[in-house]
């Protein structure tokens, strides 16, 4: 698993793009990248999982904990799931209404799909 910060995010938005596989053996690296992005206290943190080839429960937990931290701090986390494996995992677990989901080609204002929670 590799991570990168998206350099073209709208103002007030931080984005972490995860690539490859997100599982028990790679989750610590991903968590460090997300925590580094959180350190800047962005109003919105987008975690892009759309390019992952594989994600297991470790990756799901990572997204849920980031969402919990953001809510506690008065910020937002959204996930970009794309159309592949990550989307299927989050759908199967019934998490589409639990998390804010950003469309694959999100507009500049990072409008979030789905019902408000």
Residue 50 backbone class (left: φ over 0; alpha: ψ -120 to 50; beta: rest): alpha
Domain boundaries, the chain: 2-102
Region of 62 on the Ramachandran plot (φ > 0 left; ψ -120 to 50 alpha; else beta): alpha
CATH assignment of 2-102, given 3.40.50.1700, 3.30.750.24, 3.40.190.10, 3.30.420.40?
3.30.750.24
User: Is a pLDDT exceeding 50 seen at residue 79?
Assistant: yes
Tell me whether strands 13-22 and 2-5 are parallel, antiparallel or unpaired: antiparallel
pLDDT at 104: 81
> What confidence tens digit (pLDDT) does each residue in 9-39 have?
677 899 999 999 999 999 999 999 999 999 9
Structure confidence by residue, pLDDT tens digits, 38-77: 999 999 999 999 999 999 999 999 999 999 999 999 999 9
Please state the pTM of the whole predicted model: 0.83
């Amino acid at each position: 698993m590799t991570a990168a910060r998206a350099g073209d995010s709208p103002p007030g938005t931080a984005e972490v793009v995860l690539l490859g596989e997100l599982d028990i053996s790679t989750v610590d690296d991903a968590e460090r990248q997300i925590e580094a992005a959180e350190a800047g206290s962005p109003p919105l943190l987008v975690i892009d999982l759309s390019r992952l080839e594989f994600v297991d429960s470790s990756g799901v937990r990572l997204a849920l904990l980031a969402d919990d931290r953001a809510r506690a701090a008065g910020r937002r986390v959204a996930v970009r799931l794309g159309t592949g494996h990550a989307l299927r995992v989050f759908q199967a677990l019934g998490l589409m209404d639990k998390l804010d989901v950003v469309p694959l080609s999100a507009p500049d204002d990072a409008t979030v799909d789905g019902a408000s929670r």
